[in-house]
Amino acid sequence: MGPPRSRRTVPLPPALPDRGPSGVDPWLKTLLQSVIASTALFCGQALSDEIDDQKARLTREGVTPALIYDGIAAANTSGGIRTGTAYVGNLRLQLALDGNKLFHAPGWTAFFQVLSIHGGQPSNFVGDAQGVNSYAAKPALRFYEAWGQYSSLSGRWSLLAGRYDLNSEFYRLASSGLFLNSSFGMGPEFSQSGIGGPSIFPDTSFGARVTFKPSSSILIRTAIMDGVPANRTDEQNRFPGQKDGLLLVSEIAFLTRPGSGGSQGISKYRVGRGANFPAYDDKFAIGAWHYTGTFRDLSRVDSKGRPLQHEGSSGAYVLIDRTLFRSPANPKARLSGFLQYGVGDGRINQFDSFVAAGLTASGFMTSRPDDTFGIALTSARNGSHYIDSLNMQAIPTTTAETSIEATYLLQVNPRLAIQPDIQYVIHPGTNPTRANATVVQVHFQWML
C-alpha cells in the first residue's frame, strides 16, 4: 500500500496466454459484463461471493476490474500554521483489458482509471511545501489514465501511448513507496517542476513511452509527454511569456532479481507497465528530464524590469534500493534501505535539490509476515533564485524543509490494510516563523 504520488502498483494487464477458442463477438459480451460488475461494485455488493465469481470470470475472459478506496485521517497536533484535522479520500476504478483474450491480438493491453478525490488538505494546517499526505489534492472527478500498450512477443520491448502517469514507472522505488509524504514518491525538484508539474497524481497528461529490456536485469525507458497536465487551468499555472512545450524523461535501471522463492510471479522477460515492480531485491537507477517550453525566472529581470524567460528546464535523479538483510530461514524477513537524490532547475522552481533515505523491515513477525515498518527522512533545499525572490519581498526563509517519518503497515487481510503514520516536519514551508510540526495520520486502503 503506497501513496498515489509514490505510484502504487496498479493491477497489471493479465499475462498473455495462448489463443483460446473462437466465438461470436466474445469481447462485446465481456465488456458488457464488466460494466455490470463495475456497477455492482459501486452498489455495495463488493464482498459477495457472486461478485467475486463474476470478477474471476471477467478476468479469464480478458477484463480485470478493480475498485480501490484510500482514506486518511490526518491531524496536525502541534506546530505549523495551526493545529487541526482533515480527512482525505481517493476512490479509483480501474479496468485492464487483455487484447489477446478479447481480440486475439497477442501483445496488446489497455488500461483505464477513473479517479475521485475528496476531503481536505492536511498541508493547510501544517504549511509544508513537500506534502505530508500524497493522497491530498483538490477535490475532483476525472479520467485519470487511459492508455494502450504493445509488448513484443520476445518481451524485450514495449510501446505505450495515451494518458499516462509517469510516476508509475519513472522515479520509483519499492521501499520508499511505503511512506505517505509525497516526496518519497517523486522528489519535489521534479514533481513541482514546469508549468503545473509533470504527468503525475493528481493530473496526468498525454504522451508515449517506450521500454527496452536488453537483459533480465536492465530496463531502459523513455517518455515524451505534453509539457502540462491535461486538467491544468491557465489561471492557476501560466505566467505571461511561458510556453507549454514537451516533457522528455529517460531512465535506466539496473535490477537484481529475486530467486524463485521471492518471485512475484512476473515472467522473466515481461516488460511494460509495472513489470519490474516490486519483484526485485536491489535497484539502481539514473534518470533525467527536460522541458522544451519557456519559463519565467523567479527573481531575475531584464533591462526593462520584466522577468527573464528561460528556454527549457532540466533535472536529473539517482535512486538506490537495496536489500540489506534477508533471513536464510525465512525469505520474507528482510531489511531494505533506499536513497533518492535529485537536482532540478532553481531558476524557475522553489527547490533545486532533494535527498531522501530510509529503512523498511518486513516479515520478522511470524504471526504477521506481511506487515511492514519503515522510518525515513526527506529534505528539500530551496534554490537561490527562490531565496532571492523572498528576500526582495522581505519575507524570511530557511534553506530547507526536512521531514522525518515513521510508519507501520498492518495487512489485515488481502483486501484491507491499515497504516498508522507520524511525521515531524522541520521548518514547514521553509518558513522560520513556523514551529516544527508533528503530524499523525491513519491511512486505510480497501481493495476489491
What does the pLDDT look like over 424-441, one tens digit per residue? 999 999 999 999 999 999
Least confident of 82-91, 201-210, 250-259, 344-353: 250-259
pLDDT at 240: 62
> pTM for the whole thing?
0.85
Q: Which residue has the higher pLDDT, 96 or 237?
A: 96
pLDDT at 406: 98
Residues 437 and 76: beta-carbon distance below 8 Å = yes
In three-state form (DSSP H/G/I as H, E/B as E, the rest C), the secondary structure along the chain is CCCHHHCCCCCCCCCCCCCCCCCCCHHHHHHHHHHHHHHHHHCCCCCCHHHHHHHHHHHHHCEEEEEEEEEEEEEEEEEECCCEEEEEEEEEEEEEEEHHHHHCCCCEEEEEEEEEEEECCCHHHHCCCCCCCCCCCCCEEEEEEEEEEEECCCCCEEEEEEEECHHHCCCCCCCHHHCCCHHHCCCHHHHCCCCCCCCECCECEEEEEEEEEEECCEEEEEEEEECCCCCCCHHHHCCCCCECCEEEEEEEEEEECCCHHHCCCCCCCCCCCCCCCCCCCEEEEEEEEEEEEEEEEEEEECCCCCEEEEEEEEEEEEEEEEEEEECCCCCCCEEEEEEEEEECCCCCCCEEEEEEEEEEEECCCCCCCCCEEEEEEEEEEECHHHHHHHHHCCCCCCCEEEEEEEEEEEEEECCEEEEEEEEEEECHHHCCCCEEEEEEEEEEEEEC
Q: Which residue has the higher pLDDT, 12 or 175?
A: 175
pLDDT at 291 over 50: yes
What does the pLDDT look like over 101-144, one tens digit per residue? 999 999 999 999 999 999 999 999 999 999 999 999 999 999 99
pLDDT at 269: 29
pLDDT at 178 over 80: yes
What average pLDDT does range 159-178 have in this prediction? Answer: 95
pLDDT at 366: 84
pLDDT at 259: 59
Mean per-residue pLDDT of the chain: 85
Residues 6+ apart with CB under 8 A from 338: 173, 175, 176, 319, 320, 321, 322, 356, 357, 358, 360, 376
Cα angle 31, 107, 264 (rounded to 5 degrees) comes to: 90
The single-letter code of the amino acid at 382 is N
What does the pLDDT look like over 188-244, one tens digit per residue? 999 999 988 999 999 999 999 999 999 989 999 999 999 999 886 544 455 566 788
CATH topology for 4-447 is Porin (2.40.160)
What's the Rg (C-alpha) of the chain? 22
pLDDT at 421: 98
Residues 6+ apart with CB under 8 A from 9: 2, 274, 277, 278
pLDDT at 330: 86
What does the pLDDT look like over 241-275, one tens digit per residue? 678 899 999 999 999 987 544 433 333 223 444 44
Which one, of 379, 364, 360, lies nearest residue 419 by Cα?
360
What does the pLDDT look like over 376-404, one tens digit per residue? 999 999 999 999 999 999 999 999 999 99
